[in-house]
Amino acid sequence: MIERRDVFQAIADPTRRMIIQKLSRGPQNLAGIIEDFGISRQAIAKHIKVLNECGMVSVTPKGREQVCEVQLAALDEVNDWVAESRKLWNQRFQKLEQFLEDTSSK
Amino acid sequence: MIERRDVFQAIADPTRRMIIQKLSRGPQNLAGIIEDFGISRQAIAKHIKVLNECGMVSVTPKGREQVCEVQLAALDEVNDWVAESRKLWNQRFQKLEQFLEDTSSK
DNA sequence: TCATAATACAACCATATGGTTGCCAAATGT
DNA sequence: ACATTTGGCAACCATATGGTTGTATTATGA
């Protein structure tokens, strides 16, 4: 098992995805995030830790609060990977077309 | 812990992402997929099972072989979710602009 | 000043995950 | 016919994951 703490893993958990969407509406401190979630503060804190470690959420101390801000740019990596897969898929058909062209022109 | 077997979890594992990219180049049977991966056949088979369960890979028996084909449409869900997050984020700024406009026009 | 709000830290727990090995079954090709 | 290729099944294992509770710390506000 290789060391994993990347964006893909970050968005794998539904609770973390909900946190990301909540933070997309604006920064919140931990207490603010906890609302609406039926789990403990510590559980949320752990999720924030994961999101922070992979660059999805920045955490800035402000007095006794920890202000969390989502960093959506981190999701580019996901989009890029999906785009790359689609590109490979399309290249496949282009190669097939090329082959059919070459064959029929003989 | 809620029951999870979705596309997000499917692409969370780096090995599964590699399998998806390999299959994006064309369908393969299990034996074909195993090449280049330094892990056992059973490990690959388990990954294919996960990918199949969440609709990322279709498996068609062909004689003694199991032909695996990637279903990239399943990744739409991921793109959609990312797009939704970005939309929420942009709406936030639009609201801020609206506020500034309303304030300055007074 | 002092209760309280906002978190951090640590220990613990059940289950999920990703991997292994060993053995079995069924097509395939020579 | 029969060795081989291809893959299924089951048991097992170590670690990761997502959660809990309890206790401690530190700003804040009345």
Q: Give the domain ranges of chain B.
A: 7-104
CA of A34 to C1' of C3 (A): 23
Q: Does the CB of A85 have a partner CB in chain B at under 8 Å? A: yes
Check whether B45 has a pLDDT greater than 80: yes
Please answer yes or no on whether A11 and B8 come within 8 Å at the CB atom: yes
CB contact (8 A) between residue A89 and residue B24: yes
Please give the interface size between A and B, counted as residue pairs whose CB atoms are below 8 Å apart: 72
Indicate the CATH number for domain A7-76: 1.10.10.10
Which of these CATH numbers, 1.10.10.10, 3.40.50.720, 3.40.50.10190, 2.60.40.10, describes B7-104?
Answer: 1.10.10.10
Return all residues near A89 (Cβ < 8 A) that are at least 6 apart: B24, B70, B72
Arithmetic mean of pLDDT, B47-70? 97
Distance B65 CA to D29 C1' (A): 71
> For the segment A28-55, what is each residue's pLDDT rounded down to a tens digit?
999 999 998 999 999 999 999 999 999 9
* DSSP string for residues in chain A: -----SHHHHTTSHHHHHHHHHHHT--EEHHHHHTT--S-HHHHHHHHHHHHHTTSEEEEEETTEEEEEE-GGGGHHHHHHHHHHHHHHHHHHHHHHHHHHHHHT-
H/E stretch holding B28 reads strand B28-29
Residue A105's pLDDT is 57
Whole-model pTM: value is 0.89
